[in-house]
Structure 1
Amino acid sequence: MGARNDSAHRRQGRRWRFASAVLDERSWTLVVGGREVPIEAKPMELLHELLLRAGETVSKEELLAAVWPGVSVVEASLATAVLKVRRALGEAGDSTILTVPRVGYKLAVPVTLDLTELPQTAPLRELPTPGLARDQTPHRRAVQRPWYWGGMLASVLLAIGLLGFATQALRQSATAGSSPAVSQLEARDALRELDLQKIRHLLNMGWDPNTPFDNQGTAALHFIVEICEWNPGHDRQKLMLAVRMLLDANARVVVRNVWGDTPYSIARAKRFCGTEHPVSHLLHVACYEGVDVPRDKCQADYAGATANRRKP
């Protein structure tokens, strides 16, 4: 038999409350800020799966198996579904669903759960004790309905899950309070050296790769593809992995510097990596292949940049 859809058979009439949103299992709807928002089936199932494991990092492989059981899909489908969930959640989407670089995703906000009343089954008949008439049964035992134990189990699992989430949050809070802020100089050095371990560490520490390094609007993706110019003998594989890591951490491929250049336009320029470089192909995929990709927003806009620079 094929794998069952987890999001379908694990619905128990619960309401999950997180950030400003509510996911209602019974009506299978998502309400954000008091308003029901449209969301496609797969993104909804993905959100449900993350709620079931709130506070945990869920690997890409686990999410693909849960949301697309028995179906072979490309990893880009998962990234697209995450993007649609974030859009449905509105302004809080990026801080609610976090990308754990090269691993998976995590729902990183507190979650509360309403166990709504489940429909009761018909009462079970109590069988009389053999040899006794029904009215002579000495001790009538209370009959527990199946949903009773299901509800008890759900409550216990919820308590365990929330305790684990609270413990993790306290640990993160303590770590955040004792860790120094990530400096842009440290980040720039890690990018220049293509130090993958250091880049991963900085991202895990909360470094935002979209923060400009200078007043020219040079962000991490702009900076790292310029390596092709000043270090022609660079390790292409490392550069590819570093760019992939930044993209997974939501580095914006469409952001322009003050001159109107995007990371995509810089990478493809002959002066830098050129159109045949693997990293140029990677950025092309991020810009043009898949659903809800930015497409021509990845192109440079020199006219607009010139107009903005002329403004007083």
Structure 2
Amino acid sequence: MLATDLRGPHPDILLFEGFRLDVARADFTRDGKVVPLRPKVFALLLYLACNAGRVISKAELLAQVWPGVVVTDDSLSQCAGELRAALGERGPVLIRTLPKRGYLFDTVVTGEVAPPQTTPSAGNAGVSVSSQQPQPRAGLLAATVTAIALAFALFIIGGSSLDSARPQRIDATLVAWRSMVVMPFVDMSSPKASYFADGVTQEIVDTLGRLPDALVIVGASGNRPDEATVSARNAGREYGVRHVLTGSVQRDAERTAITVRMARTDTGALVWSERFEVVKGDAHWVHDIAERVAASLEIKLARSAIDPSLRVRSGEAMDLWMHGDHLMRHVKSHSELLEARRDFEAALVADPQSLHALSMLSMTHVSEVLYRWSPDRARSLALAKELAQRALSLDPDHTLALDALGNAYSFDSDFDAAYVVFRKALAVNPSSAKAQLNMASLLYFMARFEELKPYIANVMRLGRLDATIVGKAHSILAFSLMAQGKDEEAYREMRQAVIAAPSLPGARYGLISAAALTGRIDESHRLVAELLRDRPETTIALIRSARSSANSEFRKGHAHYFDGLRLSGLPEGNGAGQKVAATIDPNRK
């Protein structure tokens, strides 16, 4: 008996592209692993799957998924965005938005009848009836009646109670929050050259597609007037994303100007806008601008993802992760770091497969070593590596996990292993200012001072919107110059580091030393007095206990740095029984 015969068993299980949708069990899996979905998102997926290959209007979806309830298109767009994120990289392909027509679930779905739920007899034990061929459209449409009825009984009628019991998945939610549609850039040139604007759009889309945890959808092609004046809220409804990126291209004989804007689709608020200009003759200008746009968006999206307005119910996985992430960005004490660790541990209990929670938990152990708060350095680094490697076993290209693992290797003085990891992180996302900074810092400890300069230049180019990253870049460059005896240049760079990030401890120590080494003794005395007022426990011995290197050239330059600290009058100290509160590590927050 075929599953589509409504007089017998209906298709309890729907299969497509490695996914398994078990209606009877209210379960959705991929390759045997559960993919958590909110009840409404599950109901939307079920209806789309049962109507695969058919364009479904928004009105029909609203009526079927929210029966008897008046909701706006925003509810449908939000569910569609979450569903695309849950389906992974194939999400935008599987769930297509057709402007002014509706949604299309664009794949082949097969049906399977589950075994009866009663105790099997000897005659039918272990037997299931399955259709291995795609179901006829009419059959799937008929099966929808029974399937949707069951889904509504499970979810829509009792949706609120089940929704509270099912935690919000961290990784999928972050992707949904970092989702965007890139509309075709408008050609403002004279004479017109729409092909040129399309080329710029495609280069930006290709580069944005490498951003971690971001869903990037390409808007409808062409430069029609309605796309030139696209409404952020309308784009959100059409494409089910949280941001819309628009822009324009204008070129003449001498230069090309590109304006880029990103807006929130829920509020219409402008998040970021910038104008880029390049002169004629730069063969790589399109790629350069695309990288700068991607780097700027990565910073803005990261800040957007921890927007307090997005906080969910207390105690849920996402809320725990957000709170822990916030603490890690502003950690000032060991107790705050331990609180962040508890948040990530609790988030993992609620969402065991979260790569973000695993990676950030790993970073708490790295940071404990970085800040010299760890009672057992070796154990902390071993735990950091184990957690990061667990995340990478699930996704070998996860940038947060690569960041954590590379830093764990680096603090363990395994610079060769760290180099391999950081190289991979750069290959995954070359427009990441943080990845560029990690490599520059590592090369400093390896005494490869000339090699770090291009990475520093990339940080300055890509991370200019993040003052802390800019400050760290100036600091790393200054320390490398000081190690080479170029004290005047080091002093200038260290001043820039302190201007960009005044609270960066390594930059403050470096400026004290550079001022003394260049004969600015009075300035160094003043800086020491200010440092001891803020951090009275600071001594040369405490600073010396930071991460170091066995490289002889590095050690020689490091000794020169400490000579400057002694000239400044900073207390020597012996470090005995004292708790290290700061280090000279340029990567320290």
State which structure, 1 or 2, has the greater radius of gyration over its C-alpha atoms.
Answer: 2
What TM-score do you get using the length of structure 1 for normalisation? 0.46
Q: Which has the higher helix share?
A: 2
